[in-house]
Amino acid sequence: MTTPTLSIRDLTVDIPTRHGVLRPVNGVSYDIAPGEILGVVGESGAGKSMAGNAVIGLLNPPAHIASGEIHLNGTRIDHLKGDAMRRLRGKDIGMVFQDPLTSLNPLLKIGDQLTETMLAHLDISAQDARKRAIAALEEVGIPGAAQRVDSYPHEFSGGMRQRVVIALALCAEPSLIIADEPTTALDVSVQAQIIALLKKLCRERGTAVMLITHDMGVIAEAADRVAVMYAGQLAELGPVREVLAAPVHPYTDGLMGSTPLASRGKDRLHQIPGAMPRLDALPTGCAFHPRCPRAQDDCTQDPGPRIADGAGRAACFHPITREAVA
Amino acid sequence: MTDITPPKDPSRLSLALQSDFVYQFKRSPVAVVSFAITLILVLGAVFAPLIAPYNPFDPASLNLMNGFSRPMTPNAFTGDSFWLGTDDQGRDVFSTILYGMRISLFVGAAAVAFAMVLGITLGLLAGYVGGWTETIIMRIADVQLTFPSILVAMLIFGVAKGVTPVEYRDQMAIWVLIIAIGLSDWVQFARVVRGATLVEKNKEYVAAAKLIGRTGPAIMVRHILPNVLSPVLVIATISLALAIIAEATLSFLGVGAPPTQPSLGTLIRIGQGFLFSGEWWILLFPAVTLLALALSVNLLGDWLRDALNPRLR
């Protein structure tokens, strides 16, 4: 087996507060292979973005990695500090942010922002960097790239800007891209284009992608595998087709049931009752048990099996077996 | 994919002339008038040696017999006529105003520049670094705000005067004045820059810059600084008017520009001694000039604040 591009082992992020320690990411483990797109889904506050920020070292204090390991291309990176982390994350990890309005500096020409990134990490001249900036813009589908390279961000539409952001993330040729809700701020038709673009470019270059989103449609469209998170823990992890078509964890099943589908007709949309627990008031046992239709006594006592320990696809005592559904 | 060829880029000047900013400027009579007055006064000060009919600092050109000449009236003894009259030593008031304005404007502009550099640097540091750095910088600023700035300037001026050797005092006076006014004025720059930095540093482009491995100072200077500059521009303009007045106040009180290098404030101080003996012009003309200068710069600053803030339009 080849070395995964990104390997997270038992990652835990803590935020110490006056009322005790909050744990937005709690013992999460997953791998992303080169060229693979891993979709990370979950409700707001499930710890999706926190896990992403932990990987690139952009956790805002006092949040910090409490335990666990992060390996990038076989090198451990979670304990790197300062300079070493800086050099590494720009070169090897690219990031696509949610809002293309704020993720480009409004006062710098996009060409300057692209060349700044390349000059910081690649050993090339300024002219070469400019040529590559134009090439990068062409690659993400900006028409007239040679002219547009000298435009300011406000001269682009939202979708175009997100293309620029993707070019920016890819231009230093990283081995991993973290896309944190890259399509949330875009309208649906542009969404599909951006996802297709991201998918195509990463396939071509063998870049691994961590695609953080709460949109099941985007996951179905783009991801190879999907990791479902709930209250900081991994609920289910598996190939996207299997997980979406036949969810095993009751939470995933609930999520799928609450996604509007044209094929489902006019039935009322199913809801998961209740809301995700606050991080300072997690229930004992399995964090999902108060909302779980399949919960039994043991769920209220024991946190349940974990995927990393060999529980299989879902971290659940009473996973949905296909016979039960059928 | 088809290439779109946009029309040829217009020149920077024509772009600037078509900008909203210029359009707003043309539509505001107050802005146009105050800009014109400021421009005339500044040009007069800059080209004083070319414009002024006399050099008031050249003792050889002075004739004591010309003292107390009335404006536009030939002197009783010499028959010389002066537009704005002369002072007790026969110095042409118009010329002294031009030269005095030079010193006032230079001190004002240099003091604002000094305050700006100091305030922006400390404000960026406080906003971006946060923590103890921020606490220390902003508490110093708060403490300084509790004293009237003219008092702070006088304190600094007095201390500086005490430590400079007597023979350099007159030469150093101008520079000490600049530092004193600058140090009393940096706080507002620091506060505004810090506030704007707090907003900007949480935007994703700053995270993106961190991500590509930029260091803190590079992010502050290249990414954050340009984005916090527009409020700074407004404060700088209004501060300029305040600095000119502060300089005049200090000079009026006798702790500023020395009589050998009189600023507008010094001229007003000299003139007030003659007001009740009937030589009103020695006081009036420098005072009116100071008023016009400070007012027009202030109005310009007000207009700039409105023009740069779309929400106030």
Domain containing residue B114: CATH number: 1.10.3720.10
What domains lie within chain A, and their CATH numbers?
6-107+152-325 (3.40.50.300)
Closest Cβ opposite residue B213 in set A58, A90, A95: A90
Query: CB distance from B7 to chain A under 8 Å?
Result: no
- d(CA B118, CA B141) in angstroms, rounded, equals 12
- d(CA A225, CA B28) in angstroms, rounded, equals 62
The residue in chain A having the minimum alpha-carbon distance to the alpha carbon of residue B199 is A102
Higher-confidence residue of A58 and A143: namely A143
Higher-confidence residue of B127 and B65: namely B127
Identify the three-state secondary structure at position A233: strand
The residue in chain A having the minimum alpha-carbon distance to the alpha carbon of residue B208 is A103
Contact B211 A98 (CB under 8 A): no
B70 in any annotated domain: no
Please give the angle made by the CA atoms of A163, A165 and A167, to the nearest 5 degrees. Answer: 70
| pLDDT at residue number A273 | 77
DSSP string of chain B, one letter each residue: -PPP-PPPPPPHHHHHHTSHHHHHHHH-HHHHHHHHHHHHHHHHHHTHHHH-SS-TT-GGG--GGGTTPPBTSB-TTT--BBTT-B-TT--BHHHHHHHHHHHHHHHHHHHHHHHHHHHHHHHHHHHHH-HHHHHHHHHHHHHHHTS-HHHHHHHHHHHHHHHS-GGGHHHHHHHHHHHHHHHTTHHHHHHHHHHHHHHHTTSHHHHHHHHTT--HHHIIIIIIHHHHHHHHHHHHHHHHHHHHHHHHHHHHTTSSS-TTS--HHHHHHHHHTTGGGT-THHHHHHHHHHHHHHHHHHHHHHHHHHHH-GGG-
Given a contact cutoff of 8 angstroms between Cβ atoms, the answer to whether A96 and A198 are in contact is yes
Identify the band that residue B38 occupies on the pLDDT scale cut at 50, 70 and 90: very high
- d(CA A134, CA A129) in angstroms, rounded, equals 9
Residue whose C-alpha is closest to residue A65's, from A19, A10, A18, A17: A10
Closest Cβ opposite residue A120 in set B5, B204, B212: B212
| pLDDT at residue number A326 | 38
Identify the band that residue B289 occupies on the pLDDT scale cut at 50, 70 and 90: very high
- Domain range spanning residue B116? 29-52+84-312
| Burial of B264 from C-beta contacts in 10 A (0-12 / 13-18 / 19+) | buried
* Token duo for residue A103: 């993720």
**Contact residues, chain A, for B203 at CB < 8 Å:** 102-103
**CA distances for B243 relative to A264, B109, B187, B239, B287, angstroms:** 72, 8, 14, 6, 16
Give, rounded to a whole angstrom, the gap between the first and last alpha carbons of chain A. Answer: 36
Given a contact cutoff of 8 angstroms between Cβ atoms, the answer to whether A30 and A227 are in contact is yes
Residue with tokens 């979670």: A78
Total domains, chain B: 1
The residue in chain B having the minimum alpha-carbon distance to the alpha carbon of residue A121 is B212
Residue whose C-alpha is closest to residue B263's, from B154, B105, B151: B105
Local structure of residue A278 (DSSP, 8 states): P
Asked if pLDDT for residue B148 goes beyond 70, the answer is: yes
B253 in any annotated domain: yes
Q: In what order do the strands lie in the sheet with A37-41?
A: A93-96, A176-180, A208-212, A37-41, A225-230, A233-239
pLDDT digits (tens, 9 = 90+) for B203-225: 888 888 887 777 888 888 888 99
Asked if pLDDT for residue A177 goes beyond 70, the answer is: yes
B247 in any annotated domain: yes
Query: CB distance from A276 to chain B under 8 Å?
Result: no
B153 in any annotated domain: yes
- Please give the ipTM for the structure prediction: 0.71
pLDDT digits (tens, 9 = 90+) for A118-128: 888 778 888 88
**Contact residues, chain A, for B205 at CB < 8 Å:** 102-106
- d(CA A177, CA A204) in angstroms, rounded, equals 14
pLDDT digits (tens, 9 = 90+) for B237-279: 889 999 999 888 888 887 878 777 888 888 888 888 888 887 8
B139 in any annotated domain: yes
B146 in any annotated domain: yes
Asked if pLDDT for residue A323 goes beyond 60, the answer is: no
**CA distances for B181 relative to A155, A181, B139, B248, B249, angstroms:** 42, 50, 20, 11, 11
B104 in any annotated domain: yes
Query: CB distance from B2 to chain A under 8 Å?
Result: yes
pTM (2 decimals)?
Answer: 0.76
B65 in any annotated domain: no
